[in-house]
């Protein structure tokens, strides 16, 4: 797995942060200046295979990186993007989280057209999902 090799320094890369569970690298094909990837050192295909402690820790790392980017790069905002499954845009099947600094006039387009759902549909979905938790 290419991301296992990057996270564990088997392949040299541009590391900006590292701890016992994660390595954060600059993306080789950045959407904007400073675009980074948070990579767990242990292999998880996606969010579905990740344990709760690792999942919680990834957001602690994301907060640390986001604050550093805002302070040092002067970005006006940022997107946190994490895709699961090919249909959702995942192309490397090793869990990873994108931290994408945003600047006025950049060309990043992350969005969707809002749909519609009536109260009955929302209630049915709420009950179905809650029953699975």
Alpha carbon distance, N-terminus to C-terminus of the chain: 31
Structure tokens at 73: 């790069």
d(CA 114, CA 15): 37
Tokens of 31: 């959407």
For residue 43, the SS3 value is coil
Q: Is 96 a catalytic residue?
A: yes
Pick from 22, 70, 74, 64: nearest CA to 43? 22
CA distance 42 to 54: 10
| Residue in 35, 57, 94, 96 annotated catalytic | 96
Residues that are catalytic: 96
């Amino acid at each position: 797995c290419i991301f296992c090799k990057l996270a564990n320094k088997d392949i040299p890369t541009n590391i900006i942060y590292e701890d016992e569970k994660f390595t954060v690298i600059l993306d080789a094909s950045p959407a904007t200046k400073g675009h980074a990837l948070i990579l767990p050192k242990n292999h998880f295909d996606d969010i579905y295979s990740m344990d709760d402690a690792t999942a919680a820790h990834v957001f602690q790392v994301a907060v640390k990186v986001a604050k550093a980017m805002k302070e040092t790069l002067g970005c006006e905002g940022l997107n946190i993007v994490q895709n699961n499954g090919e249909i959702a845009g995942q192309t490397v099947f090793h869990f990873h989280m994108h931290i994408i600094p945003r600047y006025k006039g950049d060309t990043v387009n992350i969005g969707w057209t809002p749909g519609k759902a009536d109260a009955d549909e929302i209630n049915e979905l709420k009950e179905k999902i809650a029953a699975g938790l």
